[in-house]
Structure 1
Amino acid sequence: MGFFMQALDTTIVNTALPSIARSLHAAPLGMQSIVVAYTLTMALLTPASGWLADRFGTRRVYAVAISLFVVGSLACASAHTLNQLVLARVLQGIGGSMLLPIGRLAVLRAVSGEAYVSALAMISVAGQVGPILGPTLGGWFVESFSWHWIFLINVPIGALGIYAVQRFLPNDTVHDAPPFDFVGCGLLSMCMVSFSLALDSPVETHRGAVSAALFALAAVSAFAYIPHARRKRNPLFHLGLFSEPNFSVGLIGNLLCRIGSSAVPFLLPLLMQLELGYSPLHSGLMMLPIAIAGTLSKRWIAQLVKRYGYDTFLLVNTALVGASIVAFAAFSPSLPLAIEIAILVVFGASNSMQFAAMNSVTLKGLSIKDAGSGNSLFSMVQMLAIGLGVSIGGSLVQVFQGPFSTAAGFRLSFVCMGVVTLLSGLVFRRLDAAPQAAVPVRAGTS
């Protein structure tokens, strides 16, 4: 229930954005704040999830996480202004930040050895169904009922989840849990928030000084973490993580690649509804090829990496992801439907394989001691990249539509985001030679 609810909410909102904007008397292209607020909150709080589970017990924390997510969903459905909806999404993000990592931790503590991969793969099927149903379900709710139901659907799902928590999860509090690094978490949180706001500031306020100050604050916070981590006995993230070359390269490559690809689920439904005249349901159905192709392509990854190696595979596949994002700029009323679907399928398949390969090559070289810390930092970067992709993509449309038109703004934005993704291929060229072995695809890490 937790995996399904979190994955569904990530995708169901996008097709409803124009309808939400009309209801709240806001500009559709200014709706990225409700997506960014959710993903950024998740990025900030994900590192604390493991410590909370150790300190207070998996069952108690998971029940609280689902409850916060449901309460946040009710607050979203009750919002009457954009600011209210953003605050409600923050509350949702607090609960959502704990659903996946603590869910995986609960499975790890209950199932050991080789059975863990199988158990997690089975449970994560619910997380894979969410993106398939999300866009279509969101479009159907908007047309048949109202946009409020994209959030209200979480109430019965969450109720089942809370019942399952009380019924099945053991109370596994770890009484000797190490102290949490609140200072380190605060420094990195300040860095991420300042950096995200700096990217929005020039477009929204036209004050370059504000943006420069926020960038400076982000840099100071990041550099201040280095001496703190050296002095701290149990820092949030050990600096030794970056001594593993592929971890550093994979982290930067992930950030760039995900910034480009994360803009697509936000921009594409807006393009279809605002410029191509699609209904919410139609635009939701058009997102199905991406989700289905992504699910089916997962079985090819291990064989392709085994045959060509991580470096060659990522170079070629990154080019496919970037090229397909650029190709979205060709979407117009005159483009044949078959070509549109073909582009969507190529993007869905290549993007899904890209995520799995990037995840594996980034984390596989870490020691057992650093695996947990590295995975937490990697999860933070993933959430940050999603927020940055939505923020940058939406801002670019607003910048380009000024001298041109809204349609041209969308096309130029897709080109720019595709180029950002292609640049990540240059980063992956710096990977150390990795063994041409099968990819241990980690279920639930998209």
Structure 2
Amino acid sequence: MDSSSTAKKYLPWLVATALFMEQLDATIVNTAVPSIAASLNVTPLSLKSVVTSYILSLAVGIPVSGWIADRFGTRRVFGSAIALFTFASVLCGLSLNAPMMVAARLLQGIGGALMMPVGRLTIVRTFPKSELLGAMNFVIIPALIGPLLGPTVGGVIVHLVSWRAIFCINVPVGLAALFLVYRYMPDYHGQERRPLDVVGLILFSSGTAILSWLLEIFGEHTLDPMTAGLMLVLSIALLGAYAWHAAQRKYPLLRLSLLRIRTFRISVLGGFLTRLGVGGMPFLLPLLYQVGLGLPAWHSGLLMMPTAAAAMGMKLIAPRVLGTFGYRQVLVVNTVCIGLTIGLFALVGPGTPTAIIIAIGLLQGFFNSLQFSSMNTLAYADVGQKDTSMASTISSSLQQLSMSFGLAAGTLITAWFLGNVPQTNQPMVASALHHAFIALSVLTIASSAVFWALKPNDGESISKGAKRRADEESTSAAQ
């Protein structure tokens, strides 16, 4: 099947189903962290390894996803990734201790590492740039049902049954996705057969793995400063060695020369810095609600719903917003708005009215949705068709790294302010989380400076086409 009308009709549903499964799994786990911690006899903050292990395996596995898709075809790789992700979900539910859970999440991350960038790559290759923003938004809208249902369904399941049951939800969704892959997934291969950069894979994966692990361990205060410093130098040296290695090879694992494309570079760099601030929020907010405010899991899940609901609503108007104001103005202003909403959570305490919490959540979902739509599509504005696989791989790799680092930074700041105080002390946990929100707010606002380098007409090949299609659809609907 090529990029025909049939592929365009069903492909967004297929990719959205896979993203729905990923997002549902992630949000359910975040909501269930306190219950899982109690069951496995560990502290809630120490369970960030369950989340970071998944993100880490994504960061390590995504760089090779483009090569695998080009070699074996998008249909086979995407289907295998969904099957592995579903199987690993079952293993998560059967885990008896934290190490087993981490191992299952690592395996799940391998499936996710292939699923996410290959799905995005297939969308980019199927739709022309004038239709790309609309297709991406359509994919994200159903996928956002995952965060909408995840906290609530996860909270109810944890409250009534057991946290183990939450991982079984992925099974029917995974089977449905496999059916769609068999029927409607386009099978794209690379235009040229390039060898796998094994040395580059070892250098890049080792550097990113050590750096992410270092941030997690340092947050637990189990490393002395000398050892931590040496590990940091080693990780930076490995990543520097990869940059040198990539410049010498004809077919590197990640072709960093694509960063010379200005819009791609700004999108990737700005997205990396922005996600440093946003990355820790899905983990920290359930802790604020359940540990800091003492709310039950189901109540915490309900408070997470407004963010996802607002994000879905924003997807419907994002093409018009970008077409009217342009990528530069939207990204500069919207990044500041995201930082401000993160900072507002520092004001949430036991006496905060529920309506205020919901309002902040709505604002966060609204701005986050517009930000990710903008950054994810701007990356391909000036990238040629033959480079879409590599561009998707680089963008996805740095995206996951930034989310991992953001999570580590958020929990590190929280643990630093909490000190040796027991994590059952609600006022102190809430205070530590408030400090983390303020720090992440400042970091996010500062990241808006990157987008000043954009030009007013950057990304018009995507935004103007999307706005024109939205206007045509509105005219047709009115008639």
- Decide: shared fold, TM above 0.5: yes
Kindly, what percent of the aligned residue pairs are identical? Answer: 37
Q: 1:291 to 1:401 in 2, by over 3 A?
A: same
Kept in 1, the 8 Å contact 2:293–2:430? The answer is no
Ranges in structure 2 where 5+ consecutive residues have no aligned partner: 1-16, 422-427, 467-479
Please tell me whether residue 417 in structure 1 is matched to residue 434 in structure 2. Answer: no
Kept in 2, the 8 Å contact 1:3–1:100? The answer is yes
Q: Which residue, out of 113, 116, 135, partners 1:100?
A: 116
Report the Cα distance in structure 2 between the residues aligned to 1:112 and 1:428, rounded to whole angstroms.
25
Report the Cα distance in structure 2 between the residues aligned to 1:198 and 1:356, rounded to whole angstroms.
31
Question: What is residue 6 of structure 2 aligned with on the other side?
Answer: none
The one-character-per-residue Cα deviations of 1:243-293 (angstroms, maximum 9, x if unpaired) are 223333332221121111121111011110012121111111111110011
Report the Cα distance in structure 2 between the residues aligned to 1:120 and 1:411, rounded to whole angstroms.
34
Question: What is residue 247 of structure 1 aligned with on the other side?
Answer: 264
Question: What is residue 144 of structure 1 aligned with on the other side?
Answer: 160
Map of 1:245-284 to 2, 5 A cutoff? Answer: 245-284=262-301
Map of 1:81-120 to 2, 5 A cutoff? Answer: 81-106=97-122
Normalising by the residue count of structure 1, what TM-score does the alignment of the two structures yield?
Answer: 0.91
Aligned residues, how many? 441
Q: 1:292 to 1:430 in 2, by over 3 A?
A: same
Question: What is residue 408 of structure 1 aligned with on the other side?
Answer: 431
Question: What is residue 232 of structure 2 aligned with on the other side?
Answer: 215
Report the Cα distance in structure 2 between the residues aligned to 1:120 and 1:356, rounded to whole angstroms.
8
Question: What is residue 381 of structure 1 aligned with on the other side?
Answer: 398
Report the Cα distance in structure 2 between the residues aligned to 1:175 and 1:319, rounded to whole angstroms.
41
Question: What is residue 298 of structure 1 aligned with on the other side?
Answer: 315
Kept in 2, the 8 Å contact 1:42–1:96? The answer is yes
Normalising by the residue count of structure 2, what TM-score does the alignment of the two structures yield?
Answer: 0.85
Q: 1:119 to 1:258 in 2, by over 3 A?
A: closer
Kept in 1, the 8 Å contact 2:275–2:403? The answer is yes
Kept in 1, the 8 Å contact 2:141–2:315? The answer is no
Q: Which residue, out of 15, 37, 54, partners 1:21?
A: 37
Ranges in structure 1 where 5+ consecutive residues have no aligned partner: 442-446
Report the Cα distance in structure 1 between the residues aligned to 2:386 and 2:72, rounded to whole angstroms.
22
Q: Which residue, out of 421, 428, 446, partners 2:451?
A: 428
Task: Tell me by how many angstroms 1:175 deviates.
Answer: 9.8
The one-character-per-residue Cα deviations of 1:195-237 (angstroms, maximum 9, x if unpaired) are 2122233332141122212221222122212332222111122
The one-character-per-residue Cα deviations of 1:410-437 (angstroms, maximum 9, x if unpaired) are 1101111111111101222233444474
Question: What is residue 409 of structure 2 aligned with on the other side?
Answer: 392
Map of 1:284-363 to 2, 5 A cutoff? Answer: 284-363=301-380
Kept in 1, the 8 Å contact 2:410–2:436? The answer is yes
Aligned residue for 1:429, secondary structure, equals: helix
What letter matches 1:386 in structure 2? M
Report the Cα distance in structure 2 between the residues aligned to 1:182 and 1:202, rounded to whole angstroms.
30
Map of 1:48-197 to 2, 5 A cutoff? Answer: 48-106=64-122, 122-169=138-185, 177-197=193-213
Q: 1:273 to 1:49 in 2, by over 3 A?
A: same
Kept in 2, the 8 Å contact 1:192–1:218? The answer is yes
Kept in 2, the 8 Å contact 1:6–1:99? The answer is no
Kept in 1, the 8 Å contact 2:141–2:312? The answer is no
Kept in 1, the 8 Å contact 2:279–2:407? The answer is yes
Kept in 1, the 8 Å contact 2:65–2:118? The answer is yes
RMSD between aligned residues: 2.5
Please tell me whether residue 227 in structure 1 is matched to residue 248 in structure 2. Answer: no
Report the Cα distance in structure 1 between the residues aligned to 2:268 and 2:345, rounded to whole angstroms.
26
